[in-house]
Amino acid sequence: MYQGIKNKIDYNQNETEDEKRIDIKKFFELKSIIIYILSILIGTCKLSSGATPFGLALLGAIADSQFPLIIPWILIGLTTGLTFGWTCLLKFLISSLIFIISKSFIKENTKTGNSAKILFSTAISEIIILLMSKTLIYDAVMAAFMSTTTAIFYLIFSEGLPVILNLRENKISSYETLIASGILLATVISGLGDIGIFGLSLKGIICVLIVLTLGWKKGIACRNNIWCFYFICTRANGSC
């Protein structure tokens, strides 16, 4: 009896070690690498008003995919701080930590519930930053705008991210998800800046490659919508 219990314990320990190995491998899969690239580039993106709602929005979308948040959180925070300074980094750190904590305690994982958490988290971080500085009416309006925009972009990114992570599948659930993935990719590409290769726009080249890749992977079903995707990319990043 003792030997049987010991063998069962040893079996459970070996099973746990195998599960840990599988989890480690997930960090080096193609989907993981795509998430890392998106996280790095999204931290360099901002709106024309100077607001940076994209980092937390993408982090929320990544959380919906059940992917571990630690590496994307570090990558987004690092690129945000290096690109836009300590104020934007502090806003992201405060809002993301509040979001992660609220997500841990509130087990409602619907998109509506998560968007409410993101709205609340962003609002709290904006209020904290306003209390640390001289508050103007413009700053209060921008804080409300930032919170709402972050929640909206989360809803878009949460629909578009699965399309990008599952390019090997030839079917799409709806054309709305295809457009959402276009907005996500166009936003990410805008973080590349005005980089050129032999006089050609790097963003323009990537836009064309994205259109060709989606047309190849998604097939004839999206032929009438692929140019809408191209329009989104070019308008977000300048003329290709």
Place of tokens 């997500």: 103
Mean pLDDT of the region 68-92: 91
Comparing C-alpha atoms, which of 119, 47, 52 is closest to residue 79?
52
Q: pLDDT tier at 109 (50, 70, 90 boundaries)?
A: confident
Q: pLDDT tier at 1 (50, 70, 90 boundaries)?
A: very low
Place of tokens 């890749």: 213
Mean pLDDT of the region 192-213: 69
Q: Which residues partner with 196 through β-bridges? A: 201
Long-range contacts of 153-157 (CB under 8 A, 24+ apart): 153/53, 153/54, 153/57, 153/187, 154/56, 154/57, 154/60, 154/61, 154/111, 154/114, 154/115, 154/118, 155/111, 155/115, 156/57, 156/180, 156/183, 156/184, 157/57, 157/58, 157/60, 157/61, 157/183, 157/184
Predicted local distance difference test score (pLDDT) of residue 134 = 72
What percent of the chain is predicted at pLDDT more than 90?
20
Place of tokens 């390019």: 167
What percent of the chain is predicted at pLDDT more than 70?
66
Using the predicted structure, report yes or no on whether residue 59 has a pLDDT greater than 90. Answer: yes
Predicted local distance difference test score (pLDDT) of residue 14 = 47
Do the beta carbons of residue 101 and residue 69 sit within 8 Å? no
Predicted local distance difference test score (pLDDT) of residue 61 = 92
Do the beta carbons of residue 167 and residue 181 sit within 8 Å? no
CA distances from 235 to 64, 147, 219, 239 (A): 28, 24, 24, 7
Query: SS3 for 11?
Result: helix
Mean pLDDT of the region 114-126: 89
Secondary structure percentages of the chain, helix, strand, coil, to 5: 75, 0, 20
Query: SS3 for 185?
Result: helix
Q: pLDDT tier at 23 (50, 70, 90 boundaries)?
A: low
Using the predicted structure, report yes or no on whether residue 68 has a pLDDT greater than 70. Answer: yes
Using the predicted structure, report yes or no on whether residue 183 has a pLDDT greater than 70. Answer: yes
**Structure token digits, residue 169:** 């599948």
- Start-to-end Cα distance in the chain: 73
Weakest-pLDDT range from 109-123, 140-154, 216-230: 216-230
Mean pLDDT of the region 168-193: 73
Q: Count H helices, E strands: the chain? A: 10, 2
Using the predicted structure, report yes or no on whether residue 167 has a pLDDT greater than 60. Answer: yes
